[in-house]
Amino acid sequence: MGFWTKLVGGAAEEKTKTKNGKKVVTPKDLGVGLSATSLRAGNRLFQLFADQGVVAQLSKEEQVRLALELLFFELLCKGLALTRFYGEEGHTASLFHVGAVLTTVAEHSQVEDVSSFLGAAFAQLESHRQYYGQDMWNLLNLKSEEDAKKKPGLSLGFKILEKILNPVLGVPLEEPAMNQGAGHDLQAVKRACEEAERRWERVPKRVELASHCFICAVASLHSITPFMDEFTLG
């Protein structure tokens, strides 16, 4: 069964519109059709964090929050990729994609106020974009996935990991360079560093996780590349 058939639930090949030799799919159909892919990717990421010893230390509420943050990461990757490869229509597809995924999550989680949940989720997704989205966009503008993998990715991996774990464990986000002025409170800085290290203690394999985050980012950003030669939006 091909991608198009899975996407639209069995539409016949001969009835599919074509443009410049490519099958035409609407932004809505593409966005909604990719939702199961992102949900599966989010589940794989959660399992990765479990394998690295993070999940077992979390409360039930923290596990739910981790699952959501991992999903936001995946949604950002897919959204950037759709926009990069398909332009404005790709951005439209990404909005349908986010809406479909988050609505599915709300339904399965039996969220009472779906509208408030979606509003908060969109806001948190935007905060992910603001924190490391430009770095991801730069990766997308490299010639190929192989070129992206050659980039030194640990710093970006840590940036992604920090953003994912900040709402879960209180892991601090990157701070600007310290002010070295005479009035700077070095004791306060020391206490902040000690507190940050204490929170990171719940992530025993953080270097490995940061590396995995970078690898997963590259893979997700390029996951729709094979469809570019076969499909166009319209």
pLDDT, tens only, 143-182: 555 655 566 578 899 999 999 999 999 887 865 444 444 4
**Would you call 60 helix, strand, or coil by DSSP?**
helix
Structure tokens at 166: 């900040």
Average pLDDT in the 107-117 region? Answer: 92
Average pLDDT in the 189-210 region? Answer: 75
Average predicted confidence (pLDDT) for the chain: 83
Q: Which pLDDT does position 193 carry in this prediction?
A: 64
**Would you call 23 helix, strand, or coil by DSSP?**
strand
Radius of gyration for the alpha carbons in the chain, expressed in angstroms and rounded: 20
Q: Which pLDDT does position 201 carry in this prediction?
A: 78
**Global pTM?**
0.82
Q: Which pLDDT does position 139 carry in this prediction?
A: 86
Average pLDDT in the 14-20 region? Answer: 71
Q: What does the angle CA 215 – CA 75 – CA 126 come to, to the nearest 5 degrees?
A: 110
* Residue 53 falls in which region: left (phi positive, over 0), alpha (psi -120 to 50) or beta: left
Torsion of CA 96, 99, 104, 106, to 10 degrees: -170
Q: How far apart are CA 193 and CA 199, in angstroms?
A: 10
Q: Which pLDDT does position 145 carry in this prediction?
A: 56
Whether residue 130 has pLDDT greater than 60? yes
Whether residue 196 has pLDDT greater than 70? no
Whether residue 121 has pLDDT greater than 60? yes
DSSP string across 146-201 = HHHHHS--HHHHHHHHHHHHHHHH-PPPP-PPPP-STT--HHHHHHHHHHHHHHHT
For 20-54, the pLDDT digits (tens) are: 778 888 999 989 989 999 999 999 999 999 999 99
Whether residue 8 has pLDDT greater than 70? no
Whether residue 214 has pLDDT greater than 80? yes
Q: Which pLDDT does position 176 carry in this prediction?
A: 41
Task: List, in sequence order, every residue forming a beta bridge with 231; answer none if it has no partner.
Answer: 23
